[in-house]
């Protein structure tokens, strides 16, 4: 239990201290008008209060991610606490802050546009495809589960429930951000927070102690911690999906100083939620063996339902139903909205993105494959979400590095986590069954070689920018 409290304390300190350091490196300017005012359109660019933006951001980036991922990651034991804390403070929250604030600085630009600006047009073209595929996969993976549960507790069939969910998706994606998302998301965000706090209280006052830190790998299947844990627990530590969601709220901010609370703060809140659910997974079933059996029989949704109803009774059952139905749906609708925003931004040279029929057409274009994929096996989809998600995260961190290098700022705050995530994805794709399924030792070697190559490029860019700065100083002094 001591480890749990220490981890919670560090997350809070991380927000109070490191977020301010990151903000000072970025350098905010509240005298600048934000896109919510300079590009106000009544659709996506609508000023909203920071507290509402924070809750919307939390729900956009969280959903069931920090619950399902943390429960699955708990199979590795208390070492998962380390990844949640370190990953959240130094990687995930930095990633989210820069994805939101760079979007804000560039007129509410979408993630691929930011990538193109700082990493080149070739990378932008590739990441446009990857990020839209990621959002389609996430929305599809998070839609089938709620539809199945709706079919179980109502007279609706699975297909009818699926159609109903996607009807809501279309509504939320084409209406102004303050009409649906701005009104109901803060409420759902509060439910997510309350659910986590209630579970934490039940654990702390329960008879089973939360296990303390051990560096031993407790996974019953003997799967390696590196790099699997860093892909299993993404939401709650670092998730590339967040960089596709941050522009939604960036387009509603009233001033730049709100970014620390909205982007960095929401990520820390998600880390706390992941910490609680990881602790619940390790504790409730009496160890990782019991958790593995529960996951095998009922999946993450079944585990969440069993923990909630057992610890919280009727209230827990209601919360579990709300969580398993509402939270993934809110991830799906913003994924659809972000996809629509990316497509319209890509096509802005040829079409007027403000026209209602254009908004509807682009929404339907991305909703169609989402609907089709939601009818196939959830676990099959989720295998591909993990790696794609972390590739997007690594690219966003390198985008932040490029920005900081050009500005002559402390690039290492994004560079160190960018190198780490590069090592994760380079190793994972060669080892994972959805990748090349190679021998573990061989995968480690290939991942290390690729990471060293990327590191060499990083060092070269540092030297190059220093030479450019020196040349500029020489010219000015002359």
**96-114: pLDDT as tens digits:** 999 999 999 999 999 999 9
Residue 134's pLDDT is 84
Spatial separation of the C-alpha atoms in residues 2 and 8, rounded to whole Å: 10
Residue 17's pLDDT is 98
Q: In this structure, is the dihedral angle defined by the CA atoms of residues 311, 312, 314 and 318, taken in order, positive or negative?
A: negative
Question: Which burial class, exposed, middle or buried, applies to 475 when counting CB atoms under 10 A from its CB (0-12, 13-18, 19+)?
Answer: exposed
Banded pLDDT at 292 (limits 50, 70, 90) = very high
What is the chain's length? 478
Q: Structure tokens of 311?
A: 């610890």
Spatial separation of the C-alpha atoms in residues 210 and 278, rounded to whole Å: 10
Report whether 434 contacts 387 (CB < 8 A): yes
The HSE-up count of residue 464 (CA atoms within 13 Å, CB side) is: 9
Question: What is the average pLDDT across 131-159?
Answer: 80
Q: Structure tokens of 46?
A: 């609508």
Question: What is the average pLDDT across 335-343?
Answer: 84
Whether residue 72 is predicted with pLDDT greater than 60 in this model: the reply is yes
List, in sequence order, the alpha helices (H) in 408-477.
412-431, 440-477
DSSP 107: T
Q: What are phi and psi of 181, to 5 degrees?
A: -60, -45
> Domains in the chain, please, with CATH?
2-391 (1.20.1740.10)
CA separation, residue 188 to residues 182, 306, 387, 443 (Å):
11, 21, 28, 41
| pLDDT digit string, tens, across residues 153-190 | 788 898 998 888 888 888 888 888 888 888 887 888 78
């Amino acid at each position: 239990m001591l480890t749990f409290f220490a981890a919670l304390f560090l997350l809070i300190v991380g927000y109070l201290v490191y977020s301010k350091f990151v903000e000072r490196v970025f350098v905010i300017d509240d005298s600048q008008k934000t896109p919510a005012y300079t590009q106000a359109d009544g659709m996506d660019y609508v000023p909203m209060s920071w507290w509402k933006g924070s809750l919307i951001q939390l729900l956009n980036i969280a959903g069931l991610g920090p619950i399902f991922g943390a429960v699955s990651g708990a199979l590795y034991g208390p070492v998962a606490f380390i990844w949640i804390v370190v990953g959240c403070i130094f990687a995930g929250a930095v990633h989210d802050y820069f994805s939101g604030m760079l979007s804000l600085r560039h007129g509410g630009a979408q993630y691929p546009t930011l990538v193109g600006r700082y990493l080149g047009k070739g990378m932008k073209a590739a990441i446009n495809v990857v990020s839209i595929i990621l959002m389609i996969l996430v929305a599809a993976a998070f839609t089938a589960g709620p539809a199945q549960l709706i079919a179980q507790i109502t007279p609706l069939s699975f297909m009818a429930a699926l159609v109903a969910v996607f009807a809501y998706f279309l509504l939320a994606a084409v209406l102004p951000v303050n009409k649906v998302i701005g009104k109901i998301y803060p409420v759902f965000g509060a439910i997510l927070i309350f659910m986590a706090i209630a579970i934490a209280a039940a654990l702390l006052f329960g008879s089973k102690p939360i296990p303390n830190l051990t560096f031993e790998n407790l996974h019953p299947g003997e799967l390696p911690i590196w790099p699997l844990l860093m892909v299993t627990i993404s939401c709650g530590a670092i998730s590339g999906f967040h960089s596709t969601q941050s522009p939604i709220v960036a387009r509603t901010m009233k001033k730049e100083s709100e970014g620390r609370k909205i982007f960095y703060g929401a990520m820390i809140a998600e880390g706390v939620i992941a910490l609680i659910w990881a602790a619940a997974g390790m504790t409730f079933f009496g160890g990782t063996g019991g958790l593995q059996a529960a996951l095998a029989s009922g999946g993450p949704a079944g585990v969440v339902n069993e923990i909630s109803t057992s610890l919280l009774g009727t209230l827990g059952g209601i919360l579990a139903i709300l969580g398993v139905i509402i939270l993934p749906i809110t991830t799906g609708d913003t994924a659809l909205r972000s996809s629509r925003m990316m497509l319209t931004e890509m096509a802005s040279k040829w079409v007027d993105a403000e026209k209602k029929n254009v908004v509807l057409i682009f929404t339907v274009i991305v909703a169609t494959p989402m609907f089709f994929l939601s009818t196939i096996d959830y676990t099959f989809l989720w295998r591909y979400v993990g790696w794609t998600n972390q590739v997007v995260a690594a690219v966003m961190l390198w985008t932040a590095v490029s920005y900081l290098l050009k500005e002559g700022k402390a690039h290492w705050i994004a560079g160190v986590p960018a190198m780490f995530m590069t090592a994760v994805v380079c190793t994972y794709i060669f080892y994972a069954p959805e990748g090349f399924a190679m021998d573990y030792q061989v995968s480690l070697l290939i991942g290390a070689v690729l990471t060293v190559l990327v590191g060499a490029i990083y060092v070269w860019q540092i030297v190059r920018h220093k030479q450019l700065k020196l040349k500029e100083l020489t010219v000015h002094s002359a």
